[in-house]
Structures are given as structure tokens and as C-alpha cells.
Structure 1
Amino acid sequence: MLDPSAPILIVDDFVTMRRIIRKALRQLGHTNTEEACDGREALSKLKQAPFAFIVSDWNMPVMSGIELLRAVRADPCLRHIPFLMVTAEATRENVSEAVEAGVSSYIVKPFAAETLRLKMESIFPEDAASEAAGAEVPADQS
């Protein structure tokens, strides 16, 4: 599982949703969070400081979550960061688009802290703790 002290970036245009995600992460023991109100602000923060995990809404003005995901995956310095997409609609088209863009997982709003925990466990399995901490370990050695 992700180290509780690892920095997590929460990206959503609604302050209430950022607060809900932050609270759910705190319930899971993760208190090192930073927030951004859209993809552009998130990308700026990602280039200024290291993050171990990104939790981003899909629908946002200025730069959407899917645009942020594509930008993160296109950047050699950022592409390793696990990315959880938060969406109000899990249509087959949206899920396919996110998977093609390299999303680690997705979660449908509204969700409980337990659902977030399960998603995080699937992204950060116990035997990959060193990868979750940011170490670059080839997949065949985990």
C-alpha cells in the first residue's frame, strides 16, 4: 500500500469534492495532500514538487482530467505516477478512453472511503511497496 506520508495531489474544480477526497484519504491514514482546481494548475504543481499519487476529476474547466492524464503520461518525469480518475459517469467510452490514455484506475462518484481504499490497494499492492514509494523498479523484479 502507498506510504501514508507520500504526497498525493487531489485535482477537482469543486472545493467540496476536494474536501471529500481529502477526508477519505485522511480516514485511510494519508495526510500529505496538495490540491489543484484544474488540470493546468495540477500540471504546474507536478512540475514543482514530487507526488506519489494523483486523484483527479474527469470534468473540469481549463484542462480536464483526461487532458491532464495525457500530459502526465507524455512527460518522462511524471509518467510513472499512478493516476486515479474520478468521474460521475463510468460510460464504456470514458473508461476505454482513460485506459488508452494510461489511467491506473477509476472511481465513480459518489464513493466511500472503503471504495477508495480498495482502488488504492489495486494500484499499490503490498509487494510493490518500493515502487509506490517512487523507486523505479522494473515490473519483472517486483
Structure 2
Amino acid sequence: MTVVLAEDDVDIRDLVQIVLEGLDLEVRAVGTGSDALEACREIGPRLLLLDITMPGMNGLEVCRAIRADERLHDLPVIIMTARAQASDVAAGIEAGADTYIIKPFGPIELREHVEALLARTAPAND
């Protein structure tokens, strides 16, 4: 099962990738929003983990584009960000995110969010 991880901070991206691979997920890691959107369109992942603050196209724009894409509109999206204000969380959910993780987060919290979302959105034949 493939997931796309979009995070411009290499250290965070590497740590998140390690957690995801520990869940036996294949990870396509990218550093920009436009690369995330392209990867999603190319491979049709099972999940997208998305930072908000990235160069060029930000995570909210990517999330909106995913929801507007007929082939991807059901793709589960986890937003990962340091933006913890209620208005920021509301903006992420309004853009179409399924869940929102506040940085800094630990590996256990990340794993729990990923497992819960994958279980909740599992296709009938998965």
C-alpha cells in the first residue's frame, strides 16, 4: 500500500517516512505541494500526509485540488503542521483534510492517526 508524504523539512520527512515504513507502507516522499499533487495523480496512493507550509503550492491548496479531482476526491488526507490555532485547524478541515496533527508530534501519535484513518477509510476489498 503506497502513501504520499509531502514535507519540505528533510529531517521531519525522514522521521515520518521511517514511521510509515514501520507500518509496512510504501512511501513516496516529496518536498513541495506541486510534487505531492503530481505524485497523487501518478500513483493513486492510499493516503496523503501533507504539510501546510511548503514552497510554491501550499498544503491547503493541494488538499483543495485533491478534493476537486474526480479520481482523487476520496483520498484520505492527514495534515501535519505547527499551526495550532483553532482557525488553522478549521482551515485545514475546510480544505478537505480528514484529520490534523499538530507538530511536534511523536511517532506513536503519528502511527495512531495513520492506522485509524486507514482503518476508517479502507475499501471493501482491502
**What's the TM-score, normalizing by structure 1?**
0.81
The answer to whether the 8 Å contact 1:52/1:132 transfers is: no
1:13 aligns with 2:13: no
Match of 2:57 among 52, 63, 67: 63
Matched, 1:22 2:4: no
Work out the number of aligned pairs and report it.
126
Name the structure 2 match of 1:101: 95
Unaligned runs of 5+ in 2: none
Taking the aligned partners of 1:89 and 1:53, their CA distance within structure 2 comes to: 21
When residues 122 and 31 of structure 1 are mapped into structure 2, their CA distance, relative to the original with a 3 A threshold, is closer
Q: TM-score, normalised by structure 2?
A: 0.90
2:123 maps to 130
Displacement of 1:115 in angstroms is: 0.3
Aligned in 2, Cα 1:120/1:131: closer, same or farther, shift over 3 Å? farther
Higher CA-based Rg: 1
Shift of 1:80: 0.8
Task: Please provide the CA RMSD for this pair.
Answer: 1.7
Q: Distance in 1 between matches of 2:27 and 2:47?
A: 10
Structure 1: give runs of 5+ residues left out of the alignment: 1-5, 134-142
Letter in structure 2 aligned against 1:130: P
Higher relative contact order (CA 8 A, sep 6+): 1
Q: Secondary structure at the match of 2:5?
A: strand
SS in 1 for 2:104: coil
Match of 1:35 among 29, 33, 46: 29
